[in-house]
Amino acid sequence: MQVGASPLWTVFPLIGNRAVMSQNQDKTNKAKTAANREDRLKAALKANMAKRKAQARARAADPNKKEKE
């Protein structure tokens, strides 16, 4: 190494930080993805429950109609 020459890690400081940044971004992306998935599942469950309640109300309103066996 020459006197006064700096090591490569000081010349290219961003190269060493890329892995750390991508790992941090992966964690935040995973957290966002998990939150989005939970929101979608919550909405689907709510819609399903509303549909089933409507079906139950319709069945209760028509006592003469027979259910499938």
pLDDT (0 to 100) of residue 20: 56
Confirm whether 1 is domain-assigned. no
Predicted TM-score of the model (pTM)? 0.49
Confirm whether 3 is domain-assigned. no
Whether pLDDT at 36 is above 80: yes
Confirm whether 69 is domain-assigned. no
pLDDT (0 to 100) of residue 29: 85
Confirm whether 30 is domain-assigned. yes
Question: Which are the contacts of 16, defined by CB distance < 8 A and separation ≥ 6?
Answer: 9
Confidence of residue 40 (pLDDT cuts 50, 70, 90): very high
Confirm whether 49 is domain-assigned. yes
pLDDT (0 to 100) of residue 54: 96
Q: What is the average per-residue pLDDT within 51-60?
A: 94
Question: Which are the contacts of 15, defined by CB distance < 8 A and separation ≥ 6?
Answer: 9
Rg of the chain on CA atoms, in Å? 30
The whole domain housing 55 covers 11-60
Number of structural domains found in the chain: 1
Confirm whether 54 is domain-assigned. yes
